[in-house]
Amino acid sequence: MVKCYTSNHNHGRDHHFPANVACDRHAPAGAFTCREHGLQNALDESGVTRPQLAFTRMVACGHELHFAASICRGRCLRNLLGSFVVTHPRPASSRDACPLKSSSSSGWNIFYSKMMFGVENGIAARKASRQYMEMVDNSYLTSSDEVHKLMLRTESTFIEHFSNSNRSQGKNLLRSKANKERHRITFSTGFFFGCSISLIIALVLIIHARNIMGTPGQITYMETMFPLYRFFGFVVLHVIMYAANIYFWKIYRVNYSFIFGFKQGTELGYRHVLLLSFGLGTFSLCAALLNLDMEMDSQTKDYKTFSELIPLFLLALVIAITLCPFNILYRSSRFFFLTALFRCIAVPFYTVNLPDFFLADQLTSQVQALRSLEFYICYYGFGDFRQRRRNTCRSNGVLTTFYFIVAVIPYWLRLLQCIRRIIEEKDRMHGYNAIKYLLTIVAACLRTAYTLNRGATWNITAWVFSGVATLYATYWDIVVDWGLLQIGCKNSFLRDKLLVPHKTVYYAAMVLNVLLRLVWLQTVFDLKFSFLHRETLVALLACLEIIRRGIWNFFRLENEHLNNVGKFRAFKTVPLPFNYQEDRDQDN
């Protein structure tokens, strides 16, 4: 036998291999090299049972197997730890469902006695229930202690190898903990909500009291400053809709954290999302009020350039917080969002996952927000903020071209995602989905062209392509994405499996989806309202699209939860949760 010492992490223990295994210490610190074609057999013959060694990963390089002992051991230990944490609650669940002898009278007896009570009237014999209860007490299901023994073996193995025989520490790691309710989150959410409502009322009263909408500079303000601030309004509304989605997913048991691939225990709840939305809304409204006050006050008119920079400062703050590398403000969720966004942009180089396509779908409902970002670049890049009357963004031909491009970027990303999935999965449904986005791109370009160049030809062409794209997209939303309008199912014009008990909710959602899909009619009909500025009307229609997207999100994920319609999962089972309480505490 040859004695081999792998690393200092073995706590002074040595491992014995058969003599035909040659080991040397010429490898870097913490690693060793073993030359053996049948190393697996050698491990089996040696009787090594330590998890730190038995599960060390091996990397084959020709006829040599290099062990990066410290790195591979740590990775394997993390995998083993997760496996134990996942496996341990399963026998516990079986134990709770199948009481032992000591608790059979308070468990199965109650259950069967209630069941027998319902049939006693038909049998007219009380002895039947006693006979059944005797069978239950003597059954293997009630009397077996195999589940209890299995739990004890699992706990003892885990405590010995992963907690240095510290029983209390091992049990704390194995047994899942309930997520702590943080009252400061609820308080902060309510505080920012109250601030947002108060600031909205104050903004309306100031506009009405000072007759700002009737001043000569009202048109210029609506064409310059309003597009800058409405970007934050779109973001806040979308985040609120996402918080509502989380709330209803939790109520109706949609496992959104597993479907999205969130790390169990670190996903944001609806209170956290509302806190972010109301916080951003409060800061945005404060910036808008500060901007108005500085322009209306004679003492601060000399600082007009500074007041024009307030929206830019706010946008820079939001971007800085989103990209902040420090462990503050839900870093794991921010990095998850940034990773999904990067995968959307670099879609030809990455396999499409559910978070990638889901985020790209959200971007298709934020076309006006993307145009507002383009206006930020133009307004501050060309120096228009120094002289508000000079509106270069409306007259520059290059920027007008980008006005078209920005409108189709989200649909183009979704089209590329569909093409990628066609190539990988060979599923024709992705081809039909790609046609939907291609039609939408053509319709969006034609509507934008009609908005910039009025004419009968552009009007008719926009009508035709927008109508076809709307019919196609509406059918896809309801039939494919939501799985509704199925023929022959037990729920009329719906589907067999429903999570919401009230069927009228599904019928109302279908009607709303159709109506909100038709908001493009305003562009083609060129509807105008005397009491609304054109930019205000565009913002309202964009808000309706965001609301439609929020409704779509709930039913799309419900269908994914029930039927795996996107085929992103190989199985439909819902896994048991991991114990990431420590990570959650650090992240919050």
- Residues 154-205: tens digit of each pLDDT: 778 877 777 777 777 777 777 655 556 678 999 999 999 999 999 999 999 9
Looking up tokens 């209390």 gives 168
SS3 66: strand
Cα separation, 476 vs 550, whole angstroms:
16
Which of 328, 268, 282 is CA-nearest to residue 190? 282
**Mean pLDDT along residues 53-79:** 52
Query: Residue 32: its pLDDT value, please?
Result: 40
pLDDT digit string, tens, across residues 274-310: 999 999 999 999 999 998 888 777 676 666 778 889 9
Q: Is 29 exposed, middle or buried (0-12, 13-18, 19+ CB in 10 A)?
A: exposed
Q: Could you give the percent of the chain with pLDDT greater than 70?
A: 67
State yes or no: pLDDT of 74 exceeds 60: yes
The larger pLDDT score, comparing residue 424 to residue 121, is at: 424
Written as one string, the DSSP assignment of 268-289 is PPHHHHHHHHHHHHHHHHHHHH
Cα separation, 51 vs 174, whole angstroms:
17
Query: Residue 422: its pLDDT value, please?
Result: 94
Cα separation, 416 vs 160, whole angstroms:
51
pLDDT digit string, tens, across residues 327-373: 889 999 999 999 999 999 998 889 999 999 999 999 999 999 999 99
State yes or no: pLDDT of 40 exceeds 70: no
How far is residue 42 CA from its own chain's centroid?
46
Query: Residue 332: its pLDDT value, please?
Result: 92
Q: Where are the alpha helices (DSSP H) in 365-455?
A: 367-381, 397-425, 428-452
Residue type, 152: L
CA atoms within 13 Å, Cβ hemisphere of 517: 22
* Contact status, residue 525 vs residue 518, Cβ threshold 8 Å: no
State yes or no: pLDDT of 63 exceeds 60: no
Which of 285, 291, 287 is CA-nearest to residue 307? 291
Cα separation, 193 vs 205, whole angstroms:
19
Query: Residue 430: its pLDDT value, please?
Result: 94
Q: What is the 3-state secondary structure (H, E, C) of 451-510?
A: HHCCCHHHHHHHHHHHHHHHHHHHHHHHHHHCCCCCCCCCCCCCCCCCCCCCHHHHHHHH
Token readout for 475 is 């059918």
SS3 555: helix
DSSP β-ladder status, 15-17 and 2-4: antiparallel
Virtual torsion, Cα 171, 172, 178, 179, nearest 10 deg: -150
State yes or no: pLDDT of 22 exceeds 50: no
Token readout for 257 is 């954290």
* Contact status, residue 253 vs residue 499, Cβ threshold 8 Å: yes
Long-range residue pairs from 482-485, CB within 8 A, at least 24 positions apart, any chain: 482/509, 482/510, 482/552, 482/555, 482/556, 482/558, 482/559, 483/559, 483/562, 483/563, 483/565, 484/510, 484/555, 485/510
Report pTM: 0.73
* Contact status, residue 285 vs residue 293, Cβ threshold 8 Å: no
Split at pLDDT 50, 70, 90, the class of 247 is very high
State yes or no: pLDDT of 84 exceeds 80: no
Across-strand partners of 15? 4
Cα separation, 496 vs 490, whole angstroms:
6
Looking up tokens 């007008």 gives 400
Cα separation, 407 vs 369, whole angstroms:
10
pLDDT digit string, tens, across residues 367-402: 999 999 999 988 888 877 877 655 677 677 777 788
- Number of Cβ within 10 Å of residue 492's Cβ equals 10
**Mean pLDDT along residues 103-116:** 50
- Number of Cβ within 10 Å of residue 19's Cβ equals 9
Cα separation, 51 vs 9, whole angstroms:
13
Cα separation, 498 vs 495, whole angstroms:
7
- Point out the least confidently predicted range of 28-42, 386-400, 541-555: 28-42
Helices 69-87 and 167-174 cross at an angle (nearest 10°) of 70
Cα separation, 105 vs 113, whole angstroms:
10
Query: Residue 409: its pLDDT value, please?
Result: 94
DSSP β-ladder status, 31-35 and 15-17: unpaired
State yes or no: pLDDT of 458 exceeds 60: yes
Cα separation, 66 vs 62, whole angstroms:
10
* Kind plus residue range of the DSSP H or E element containing 2: strand 2-4
Cα separation, 307 vs 224, whole angstroms:
13
Tell me which DSSP letter residue 17 carries.
E
Across-strand partners of 578? none
Query: Residue 578: its pLDDT value, please?
Result: 45
| Rg of the Cα atoms in the chain | 31
SS3 16: strand
